[in-house]
Amino acid sequence: MYKAKAYSAASATSPLTADTIERRDLTENDVQIEILFCGICHSDLHTVRDEWSSFMSTVYPVVPGHEIVGRVTEVGSAVTKFKPDDIVGVGCMVDSDGTCPQCKAGFEQFCPNVTLTYNSPDKHLGRVTYGGYSESVVVDQRFVLRVPPNLDLAGVAPLLCAGITTYSPLRYHGVTKGKKVGVVGLGGLGHMGVKFAHALGAHVVVFTTSPDKKEDALRLGADEVVVSRNADEMQKHAGSFDFILDTVAAVHDINAYLNLLSRDGNITLVGAPPKPLEVAAFSLIMGRRNLSGSNIGGIAETQEMLDFCGEHNITADVEVIPIQKVNEAYDRLLKSDVKYRFSIDMSSMKSESPR
């Protein structure tokens, strides 16, 4: 084992502070990565504050971070896919059983034995896994992704979660030219959803609670912007959408969006509010509408998404921060005050002398 600097939270009410953690020595299939940037996902905040305890409790201390970009420093003896100095990414998963029907079909994210990047049982060290708010990480090569050489790395980090989480359902639901697509919430996930839906050729409408994000939404690729608190503006789009991607992190009225779907239209939840949403039966039965969900994407699809970003020059719009500003960033995330993803410059970890 070796020691690495990290930021951890000691409880649901503690701030993140400098810490020292242990990482495993490389096994033959492992890749050791010096972390350059790590995005801040709203899931990090939900987990640190134990907001998802009804589904998955947080084990403390927690080291969040699953939007990792870094440089390979060392590889195990059986590693064939990577070599030192390669620029690579790691997303929300670091292991799965590889043998179940889900894994065999390329859906590692639905494997009953998936190991998430943080807060998941760690078969190597016997504690829970620790994520990317750290200077270094060791990951099995099967869960390490190639990063296209032409992209800005601070903006690549968020692709590893926000990118794949929006790309996957847009592809699965056949978003393409001629389709009318809504994106609800212009945060980290939402702004990637807009970029992808636009790149796929759809007519994109953004729903936001923040009127000041209107111009940005158009610049990011939206064709129209609706301030969702304005009932008249909402009504104009009633019954007209083929597909809506809902990225909202808080409890909200999903019926208002179900009513905007056309016959057989689909709304997919990727946002994961801590409390259940109320669904009115009539919102679904009128128009035979569909409500579904989606969770990140498999490893092969994540690589496909990164390659798509390389071809189309797509990265996240980021505000780069030092790790010392992470608690302030969490407070701003709760106020929907991020344009549009925080990306932590991990070189800032060097000045820390952890307890």
Residue ranges binding ligand NAP (CB under 6 A): 41-43, 46, 161-162, 165, 185-190, 208-210, 213, 247-250, 252, 270-272, 294-296, 333, 336, 338
Examine residue 294 and tell whether it contacts Zn ion (CB under 5 A).
Answer: no
| CB nearer to ligand NAP: pick between 226 and 346 | 226
Tell me, residue by residue from 37 to 56, as one string, x for binding to Zn ion by CB under 5 A and - for no binding: ----x-x-------------
Least CB distance to ligand NAP at residue 323 (A): 18
23-25-27 Cα angle (round to 5): 125
Strand partners of residue 261:
241
Least CB distance to ligand NAP at residue 55 (A): 11
| CB nearer to Zn ion: pick between 65 and 221 | 65
The DSSP string of 143-189 is: G-EEPPTTS-HHHHGGGGTHHHHHHHHHHHTT--TT-EEEEE--SHH
What is the enclosing helix (H) or strand (E) of 329? helix 326-334
Least CB distance to Zn ion at residue 337 (A): 18
Least CB distance to Zn ion at residue 44 (A): 7
Taking CB atoms, the residue at the shortest distance from Zn ion is 41
Answer for the pair 155, 148: CB distance below 8 angstroms, yes or no: no
- DSSP strand pairing (145-146 vs 115-116): unpaired
259 binds, among ligand NAP, Zn ion, none (CB under 5 to 8 A by kind): none
Answer for the pair 223, 205: CB distance below 8 angstroms, yes or no: yes
Ranges within 110-169 binding Zn ion (CB under 5 A): 161
Phi (first) and psi of residue 137, to 5 degrees: -150, 155
Binding footprint of Zn ion on the chain (CB under 5 A): 41, 43, 161
